[in-house]
Amino acid sequence: MPTDPANPLIVQGDRSILLDVHAPRAAEARAALIPFAELEKSPEHLHTYRITPLSLWNAASAGYQPARIAETLESLSRFPVPQGVTKWTVETMARFGKIRMVPESEDRLSLVVETAHIYRELAASKHMAKYLSPAGTTEWRFTLALLDRGTVKQELLRLGWPVKDEAPLRDGAPLELALRQETRSGKELRIRDYQREAAESVVGDRSPGTGFGTIVLPCGAGKTVVGMAVMALLKTDTLILTTNVAAVHQWIAELLDKTDLDPSLIGEYTGDNKTILPVTVATYQILTWRPKKEGPFPHFALFGKRAWGLIVYDEVHLLPAPVFRVTAELQTVRRLGLTATLVREDGCEGDVFSLVGPKRYDVPWKDLEGQGWIASASCAEIRVELEGEREIEYAVANQREKYRIASENPAKLPVVESLIARHADDGILVIGQYIKQLEEIAELTGAPIITGKTPNAERDRLYSAFRAGEIRVIVVSKVANFAIDLPDASVAIQVSGTFGSRQEEAQRLGRILRPKQRESRFYTIVTSKTSEEEFAANRQKFLAEQGYEYSIIRWDEESV
């Protein structure tokens, strides 16, 4: 196929893809790669993507065919696409569906294997022998206990065999529920096309293989509305799991505002209130609490308290490992994962795929920005120096201490002060990792501070005052990373973070992306020539993947 030297992609034999960000079709190529490739590096000129088995299986589950991927690469590649890459893509995607999970009896499932080769591979696995029993027929088939459904899917994915789960899902208790045409606050409620498509992609036609999956949408794009749209389609008792008490209250407020649910049907299950009703909103923290370190998790009983027909995993990229374990046993329940990024710092994206469900829907952030659904944003990294005794202290510290010394660099304080002064008309969030540093900033600026120790009632009061414009600046620890709706924030100043976490970067950027008239600004203050600078490079990956330009500024009083 003829190639064009002006094209933006260079596809290499090791399945890496280089994107020339200066090429005319670079933005088109970035959006085209999102469904089936993962970003690895994002320096100034060439970004590196990689096609992986999991990225291809997510694409396959969303309906992508190898021919479509090959056509995309060929049309955007500067040089001929290596035949080995095309062949490997076909072979890897073909693995999806080679093993199917189907019903056998009331408490057993069958694993139907397409070929004798795969059957022998599984039969020879000592680890799989704990779960699989030969069916005793001439077919290539195993049986397994219903309770091992999720665990078997996890283990087979690790062996390179994604399971196509066609076993039926049970219907939960019925619940009449509809989205309002007008919210209780009097605004017209219009479900956006992409929100409707996302909800329908998970619910499907209720045939085998539908009813579970993960939706990837930017913060501010209305993932909560997608969750409620799924609930309205399924009309069943629903358990919603989210990150903290503030997020629980936000979900309940949204349900009351945008659905016709009576308040008497919505329960809160947190440390303060344990009410179980047809729609119950709980925190991951309460579920993973246990009185003894090695003891049982008493609140896991919540999963069996009602005939749940749907479980919503909000911020699914943060799903704790203990909840993964119970999720493995809940494979007969419809499941919806909501997230702004599937990146997990623990590398457990495969467990999300197996247990909650594959990625069903994804929209590039810049696409939604172009349509006006989220705000435009500019991102800048401001670099400051480490001076005096702290430079010596840094030199002799261990690796973890080095990161903290760099993060808490006092030279960041005047930068924060200056940025707040320069954005006098904006709602500003100052976000950081270390409480002592945040307390110093709060004292310096006179802004209120919210940390993990701030009572929930006080958090809600401050968030409300911020939304109303009564407070212009809030200093927040990482408790504000997740599921907090602060629609009037247009500037975020990040003074410290979690070791280059891309998922954290996604959430923090999302705090300022609600639609607004002005452009949002996202600042990260980093200490030069330290490990903090190295970790910041990893966080840049997320911003680059979404199409945001990321400028680097050496700080002086006239820099910004």
Residue 497 in this model has a pLDDT that exceeds 80 = no
The confidence score (pLDDT) of residue 12 equals: 96
Q: Is 169 helix (H, G, I), strand (E, B) or coil?
A: coil
Pick the residue with more confidence: 76 or 454?
Answer: 76
pLDDT in tens, 220-240: 788 999 999 999 999 999 999
Give the predicted TM-score (pTM) of the model.
0.79
Residues 6+ apart with CB under 8 A from 152: 101, 111, 128, 131, 132, 144, 163
Cβ neighbour number for residue 233 with a 10 Å cutoff: 18
Q: Is 151 helix (H, G, I), strand (E, B) or coil?
A: helix
The confidence score (pLDDT) of residue 459 equals: 84
d(CA 114, CA 9): 36
Tokens of 470: 């009564």
d(CA 23, CA 20): 6
Residue 347 in this model has a pLDDT that exceeds 80 = no
CATH architecture of 370-554: 3-Layer(aba) Sandwich (3.40)
The confidence score (pLDDT) of residue 48 equals: 86
pLDDT in tens, 285-329: 999 988 888 888 999 999 999 999 999 999 888 788 888 888 988
pLDDT in tens, 186-222: 888 999 999 999 999 999 888 888 899 999 888 778 8
Q: Do domains 193-363 and 370-554 have the same CATH topology?
A: yes
pLDDT in tens, 146-184: 989 999 999 999 999 999 999 889 999 999 999 999 988
pLDDT in tens, 351-387: 999 999 998 988 777 778 778 887 677 788 899 999 8
Under 8 Å between Cβ of 337 and 357:
yes
DSSP for 179-193, written as a single string: B-SB-TTS-B----H
What CATH code would you report for 193-363?
3.40.50.300
Mean of pLDDT over the chain: 87
The confidence score (pLDDT) of residue 500 equals: 45
Under 8 Å between Cβ of 109 and 103:
yes
Mean pLDDT of 67-89: 96
Window from 11-20, 118-127, 363-372 with minimum mean pLDDT = 363-372
Tokens of 64: 């992508």
Under 8 Å between Cβ of 58 and 359:
yes
d(CA 96, CA 89): 12
pLDDT in tens, 251-266: 999 999 999 999 999 9
For the chain, the domains span 9-94, 99-165, 193-363, 370-554
